[in-house]
Chain A
């Protein structure tokens, strides 16, 4: 399988850099997979789980929004926050969701819509975490 170069950078550090086979990205307009030779694309990312396939192993990385850029040199993901599944503090994550829910009441109009959308993304991440935790 042809591999390509993948960089995952967050404001604080270079979180991942190397040759990979496939990366599945949660885009704002739907999930998409990137393989070697993908057409150049710039896509916004919603909060979700990114799957990096590297020689048969899958690594899950949680990204909380950002931007993906594919060009002839490979894939670059600018993540707002990137945490690998093992590093994630589930309790803190649950607290954060509870905090967002509590704040919903203060918001209104389009801000409320955006907050609800973001909360939904967070909840689906949590759901996935809980359902896959056993495996």
Chain B
């Protein structure tokens, strides 16, 4: 049986933990707001870019000279999984959910006789994937020192991916990240980025006939690598918002659990204290009677 002093110490330490989780929750909430605005600000560009590309690509896809980023290498033997996760933990199942999706996909591909390679963005995903796929991880980018996610970061990653694609190291590239739906819902998502999947537009809208300056394929040649960076940038921003959302709800849970724990501990503490007082009283009374 723990002494009263031990119990007091334990309650105090639980209270300190609760203060920390509460503070983390509030920090995550304010950072979430900023991350969310950043994710929303980036949306128009990504959307317009997608619209322009699908406009041009639908015309160019059938032609024999279509760029490889759009048409693919014609094989799908080697798959590159670009896994974007967070840099820090204490955010519930956020990182493991993305990693689980990537791992399931990898195992399915291996069963089909395909070769799988990993490109990890973020420390947490790298650490988790290293346990099972150590040899297949070909590159790992750490964004821990980055304070404000900029387009430059995404561009750097895109450049590395493109260089490896140009060297013929893989045929298909899939991006894994967590889509931000709301504070309580983050959906791990897989998106194929090489070759690009062009969304089929509703046929009701007649395609505008554009003039191109310079030629279509040259514009497409500039646009496709750019688009890759844009998609990665969007994924990073969505991830960032999801991370703070997940951390906020995880810390909210932790704060509530700590509150519950404090309540229980205080109850036991008070009971023990009262029992001890009663015991002392009985001792005094029976002592007095005996005299």
Contact = CB atoms under 8 A, between A and B. Distances in A.
B44 A40 contact: no
Contacts of A76: 48, 52
Contacts of A80: 226
A10 interface: yes
Interface in B40-70: 41-42, 44-46, 48-49, 52, 55-56
B208 A72 contact: yes
15 contacts: A11-B151, A12-B151, A29-B213, A40-B208, A41-B211, A42-B55, A42-B213, A43-B212, A43-B219, A67-B52, A67-B223, A69-B48, A72-B208, A78-B48, A80-B226
B7 to A, nearest CB: 53
B210 A40 contact: yes
Contacts of B151: 11-12
A41 B41 contact: no
Contact of B150 (A12, A29, A41, A78): A12
Contacts of A11: 42, 45-46, 151, 154, 229-230, 233
Interface in A27-49: 27-29, 39-44
A14 B44 contact: yes
Interface string A58-71: 00000000010101
Nearest to B52: A69
B48 A9 contact: yes
Given A11-B151, A27-B213, A44-B219, A71 B41 contact: no
A135 interface: no
A14 B219 CA distance: 22
Query: Helix, strand, loop or mixed for chain B's interface?
Result: helix
A127 B46 CA distance: 33
Given A9-B45, A12-B41, A40 B230 contact: no
- The prevalent SS among residues of A at the interface is strand
A9 B40 CA distance: 12
A12 B43 CA distance: 9
Interface in B132-167: 150-151, 154
Interface of A: 7, 9-14, 27-29, 39-44, 67, 69, 71-72, 76, 78, 80
Contacts of B209: 40
Contacts of B233: 11
B212 A41 contact: yes
B218 interface: yes
Nearest to B45: A9
B214 interface: yes
Interface string B12-44: 000000000000000000000000001001101
A84 B223 CA distance: 24
Nearest to B226: A80
Which of A9, A10, A40, A76 has the largest number of chain B CB atoms within 10 A? Answer: A9
B222 interface: yes
Given A27-B213, A28-B213, A39-B211, A44 B48 contact: no
Contacts of B212: 41-43
B122 to A, nearest CB: 20
B12 to A, nearest CB: 46
The 8 closest A-B pairs by CB, nearest first: A43-B213, A11-B151, A13-B41, A9-B45, A41-B211, A40-B210, A42-B210, A40-B208
